[in-house]
Amino acid sequence: MTDYFQPEDDTPQAAIAAIGEDLALFDDWMDRYEFIIELGRKLPPYPAAWQDEAHRVQGCQSQVWLAAQEADGKLYFTGASDAAIVSGLVALVLRVYSGRTRAEILATSAQFLRDLGLIGALSTNRGNGVAAMVERIQEMARAA
């Protein structure tokens, strides 16, 4: 059984606030990038068999794969990327959305990525890619 990302925070809003606090510990974006890359290294292992088109997130410059499993009325996600910084962005997104109800996922827009300064600090392609990850997660939440 694959390890799905377990939430550290009680709500998506608490996760977003905690990520903001974590990022604020660093004075510049180079240090923040290192922190984000380190988050990606801590992701649960992602099965090689799931690195396929069915799990691939369209719209990402790098290869990104996401999978979901429902348990106890909540969706749990796992993900991976072939790029270190993008793996870290996957970890940030999963911290916000994994282990949440469908309603919580759908009520949490990708705006937090802008509010935290992530979209502005990333290249346009990476920014579009992380937004595509959130859209894919919300599509999975909408699916019955």
Q: How far is Cα of residue 124 from the mean position of the Cα atoms in its chain?
A: 17
Furthest CA-CA distance within the chain: 43
Q: Is 16 a catalytic residue?
A: no
Cβ neighbours of residue 68 under 8 Å, at least 6 residues apart?
75, 76, 77, 137, 140
Could you say which of 39, 60, 94, 113 is catalytic?
A: 60
SS3 at position 114? helix
Shortest CA distance to 89 belongs to which of 45, 126, 50?
126
Pairing of strands 74-81, 64-71: antiparallel
Active site residues: 60
